Structure 1
Amino acid sequence: AAGAQAPDPLTAAVAAGLRQGRSVGEVARAVGLGARQLHRRSLAAFGYGPKTLARILRLQRALALVRTGTAYADAAYAVGCTDQAHLAREVRELTGTTLGGYLAGIGHGAEDARSGTAQPSGDGR
């Protein structure tokens, strides 16, 4: 660790902006970088590009909401997914499993996932 380079000071600002749900373009402008430069710095800092980081952070926000009892559809809407199916695709692509399966696998909401009590509200959001 002593020989490691100091972290890029912009990466904290990039992560914070994306964590707030801002678009990659918005974050790039806010930190004063072009899209390609932001992508290169993100690869170096996080191991993947800013869009993938934004997807991961959005998934984390959705999971936090679901853990508090928010219905899947409501959590999807709150984090900016177009609908619950969009959130379901994101979960499957990023984790390789369903939202209920993921929550059960980490030991949170396993009963809800099995019983369906944390399932969508049915209002189509």
Structure 2
Amino acid sequence: MRSTEPASGAAAVWDIATPSRPGPLPGVGMAGFRARTADPVDLSVVPYPAVTVAVDLGEAPLAVEDGDGGLHRGSVVVGLAPTGVHGRGRAIECLQLRLSPVVAHAALGGCAAWGRGVVPLRELWGREAGRTRERLRLAGSWQERFAIAGAELARRYEEGRRVDPEVAFVWGRLVTHRGGIEVERLAAEVGWSRKRLWSRFRSQIGLSPKRAARLVRFDDAAHRLAAGRSAADAAAEAGYADQSHLHRDVRDFAGVTPAAVAGAAWLAVDPVAWTGPPSPRPA
């Protein structure tokens, strides 16, 4: 376990553990979070180009409010581009998984439910969600927990229904180019019509290719803002036409201003918990 000691700010709320070695399944990131305080913790979720699974391991249930006013308690799956999602709880302890949507399609059992919203994990895994949670709670270390979660995801991925190789390829290209590549070009590269790519990609990833590209670019800009770059610099470096273009995307995805994104607690832990975004599963 690697436990962090951030000096100040939102990240100081957490003890964070990360895996000591890569897991068995590419396209999956993991981190363990334990709150340093018994006081209530409230987090606004910033959309990220991965499907996020939060396995609640604490004594008091984690509460996650979705953008439609629904309240979910316990382990949840947060989709690719949710808006208005907030998590809160006391003495929080959870295992967080970030899955490339290419992996999530097979490992979580489809994407219709989690494309843009919040879904209880039990709705996707049934009773096995509770049994897996108990195994994780009883594990003797975070490293053991990472091994259990990695093996479970790998098993479900192998048994699940894969995305089309063309869809996996297009997702990988969007991530590699940080959203800065034309969808028409990608359709030509896989030999599909634009209409076919749009239909297959949306049905298997949960977003249209264009919105997925915007999400990847927004994430790039959001992390630049969190690292201290000005809105003008972040816009230019992330490939936006101008600063107002960045403002529109930030408002669309996060519902706030670039300044608010720069100070978001959800992003404050990223340099410690995640070395980078989950890589797409090779086709």
TM tier relative to shorter chain:
0.7 to 0.9
Aligned partner (choices 103, 107, 115) of residue 262 of structure 2: 103
Shift of 1:55: 0.6
Q: Which structure dedicates a bigger proportion of its chain to strand?
A: 2
Residue 39 of structure 1: SS of its match in structure 2?
helix
Residue type matched to 1:75 in 2?
A: A
Between the aligned partners of 2:206 and 2:226, the Cα distance in structure 1 is 27
Q: Which moved more, 1:7-16 or 1:29-38?
A: 7-16
Aligned partner (choices 138, 156, 164) of residue 8 of structure 1: 164
Between the aligned partners of 1:6 and 1:107, the Cα distance in structure 2 is 30
Q: Deviations over 1:69-113 (max 9, x none)?
A: 32211111122211111101111011211122233333556xxxx
Question: Mind listing any 5+ residue stretches in structure 1 that lack a counterpart?
Answer: 110-125
Q: Which structure dedicates a bigger proportion of its chain to helix?
A: 1
Q: Deviations over 1:40-82 (max 9, x none)?
A: 1111122121111011011011122223332211111122211
Between the aligned partners of 1:16 and 1:75, the Cα distance in structure 2 is 23
What is the aligned residue count? 109
1:15-26 correspondence to structure 2 within 5 Å: 15-19=171-175, 20=177, 21-26=180-185
Residue type matched to 2:202 in 1?
A: L
Contact 2:167/2:197, CA 8 A, preserved across alignment: no
Counterpart check, 1:39 vs 2:195: no
TM-score calculated relative to the size of structure 1: 0.75
Between the aligned partners of 1:4 and 1:107, the Cα distance in structure 2 is 30
Counterpart check, 1:49 vs 2:208: yes
Counterparts in 2 of 1:31 and 1:106: CA distance versus 1, 3 Å: farther
Shift of 1:24: 0.9
Pick the structure with greater CA Rg.
2
Aligned partner (choices 218, 229, 236) of residue 59 of structure 1: 218
Counterparts in 2 of 1:44 and 1:51: CA distance versus 1, 3 Å: same
Q: Higher relative CO (CA 8 A, sep ≥ 6), structure 1 or 2?
A: 2
Residue type matched to 2:185 in 1?
A: E
Residue type matched to 1:29 in 2?
A: A
Residue 64 of structure 1: SS of its match in structure 2?
helix
Counterpart check, 1:87 vs 2:246: yes
RMSD over equivalenced CA pairs, Å? 1.9
Q: Which moved more, 1:66-75 or 1:49-58?
A: 66-75
What is the percent sequence identity of the aligned residues? 32
Residue 121 of structure 1 corresponds to none
Question: Mind listing any 5+ residue stretches in structure 2 that lack a counterpart?
Answer: 1-106, 108-155, 269-283
TM-score calculated relative to the size of structure 2: 0.36
